[in-house]
Amino acid sequence: MGQKHFHGGVHPPANKHWTESKQTEKAPLPEEVIIPLQQHIGAPAEPLVQKGDTVLTGQMIGKSAKYVSVPVHATVSGTIAAIENRPHPFGLDMLSVVIRSDGEDRWKKSPEKDPDFLKLSPDDIKTRIMQAGIAGMGGASFPTHVKLSPPATKVIDTIILNGAECEPYLTADHRLMLEKPKEIMHGLAVMMRILNVTNAFIGIEDNKPDAIRIFEKILRKNKKIKVVPLHVKYPQGGEKQLIKAVINRVVPAGGLPMDIGCIVHNVGTAFSVYEAVAFQKPLIERIVTVTGSAVREPKNLLVRIGTPFHHVIGFCGGLASERIKIIHGGPMMGISQTTDKVPVIKGTSGILALNGNHLSLKTESPCIGCARCVDICPMKLVPTQLGKLVKHNRIETLDKMGIMQCMECGCCGYICPAKIPLVQYIKLGKALWTERQRQQDIRA
């Protein structure tokens, strides 16, 4: 089965006790949803509606003609109040469709199960996945139908379902595995059919023994799909780290999992694929963990996409402090927000609200040369050197040092005794390098 570990990584406090035992609740419909037309990697969708139009739940309201893209759908019924730039969890204002809910949740087409969904051709299955707007639910948000369409030269022999959920605080995937395991397995079966793969693995960190037991019980007579308990270490859920741990293969630098015959999907993606193919249900909602020291009543919630953060937090009793930090996602790779008016999007696994000691700014001091960041870097980079190159504007050297291989997991900044914000420097360095390449291409 291969080794169950990978190079590097850290062990931050899990802090999953807030919500790991709390069953998913359904969040109430908001009065207004904000649907960004860019919730995925690739081309943004273009609006198919106009201000003043009446829309129904599940109705497609945005689509792109580009292949690497997915459509977006109305997540409530109501009236288009605006099509304008609104704050986005990624930190920029992005074009969004704003829908004022009528409170009736009238569907364009009520989801009804197709009993023969597993008999569909691979192309028909991928069409349903695309039309449902499915993008990776683990945070990367890559269009799923594209990921399930590798080039003919790439022979895929293995699918790995990612149930690691290594990010501290978050328990959305954990709850989904406990509450919808059979549906996840149906989604996996659909993906295996598309790729004509007979072997699959489900990787789950061993701090989730209840989820491991459930899937082992379901698969006790299935010799082709195996559950792999994983050592608890961050970032165990990283795509390349998961592949190394589960099947002991190494994705080459600059390469993709398909280069070594493997494709990885999140368990949430598998569940959404099942709903898309079996019920032709578009992706209009997802489980979100709402947690942290500033949340009065942390919960796991089934939330309509487009719901503003303040509405979700309000259903959890509101905030217990006025001085807080709100993060989209988890504390390691999440993005701090400047407003609670940003909406839940397809890649929103968690809303984290922290107060007190979590808000104190760490003063950066000179690097002491301890090399801890080198020891724990999962990508075997030299983060401190990358940080110095960025600080001294040595942009031309960054690519040679492998900056584009950084997965921005945050391990280096977490472990640094000098409190150097290494990830922030590396993010800046990537942007500067990309811009330099773009300028060179223009001049060429």
Q: 205 with 164: CB under 8 angstroms?
A: yes
Distance between CA atoms of residues 429 and 373, nearest Å: 17
Q: 122 with 193: CB under 8 angstroms?
A: yes
Confidence of residue 444 (pLDDT cuts 50, 70, 90): low
Largest pairwise CA distance in the chain = 63
pLDDT tens digits, one per residue of 409-419: 999 999 999 99
* In a shared domain, residues 386 and 255: no
Which of 218, 247, 279 marks a domain boundary? 279
Which of 250, 279, 308 marks a domain boundary? 279
* In a shared domain, residues 257 and 136: yes
Surface-to-core class of residue 331, CB atoms within 10 Å of its CB (0-12 exposed, 13-18 middle, 19+ buried): buried
Q: Do the bridges between strand 199-205 and strand 225-230 make them parallel or antiparallel, or are there none, so unpaired?
A: parallel
Which of 227, 245, 279 marks a domain boundary? 279
Distance between CA atoms of residues 265 and 160, nearest Å: 6
* In a shared domain, residues 275 and 142: yes
**Does any domain span residue 85?**
no
DSSP string covering 112-168: ---TTGGGS-HHHHHHHHHHTT-B-TTTT--BHHHHT---TTS---EEEEE----ST
Place of tokens 């659909």: 190
Quote the mean pLDDT of the chain: 94
**Does any domain span residue 403?**
yes
pLDDT surpasses 50 at 374: yes
pTM: 0.94
How many CA atoms does the CB half-sphere of 220 hold within 13 Å?
4
- What 3-state DSSP class applies to 319? strand
* In a shared domain, residues 244 and 136: yes
pLDDT of the residue at 147: 95
Average pLDDT over residues 42-70: 97
* In a shared domain, residues 125 and 270: yes
**Does any domain span residue 141?**
yes
pLDDT of the residue at 1: 40
Q: 228 with 202: CB under 8 angstroms?
A: yes
**Does any domain span residue 131?**
yes
Q: 46 with 37: CB under 8 angstroms?
A: yes
Answer left, alpha or beta for residue 15, where phi above 0 means left and psi between -120 and 50 means alpha: left
pLDDT of the residue at 2: 41
DSSP state of 322: S
Average pLDDT over residues 302-313: 98
CA neighbor of 2 nearest in space, from 287, 228, 169: 228
**Does any domain span residue 127?**
yes
Average pLDDT over residues 202-208: 96
pLDDT of the residue at 4: 62
pLDDT of the residue at 3: 42
CATH number at residue 208: 3.40.50.11540
**Does any domain span residue 265?**
yes
Overall number of domains in the chain: 2
* In a shared domain, residues 143 and 249: yes
**Does any domain span residue 272?**
yes
Q: 131 with 71: CB under 8 angstroms?
A: yes
pLDDT surpasses 80 at 139: no
Q: Lowest mean pLDDT of 68-82, 128-142, 206-220, 287-301, name the range.
A: 128-142
Omega cis (within 30) before 235: yes
Place of tokens 């050297």: 397
Tokens (6 digits) for 122? 């691979």
**Does any domain span residue 382?**
yes
pLDDT tens digits, one per residue of 146-175: 999 999 999 999 999 999 999 999 999 999
pLDDT above 90 coverage of the chain, percent: 89
Confidence of residue 52 (pLDDT cuts 50, 70, 90): very high
Structural domain for 212, as ranges: 117-279
CB atoms within 10 A of CB 70: 30
* In a shared domain, residues 156 and 257: yes
pLDDT of the residue at 361: 60
Q: Do the bridges between strand 93-101 and strand 225-230 make them parallel or antiparallel, or are there none, so unpaired?
A: unpaired
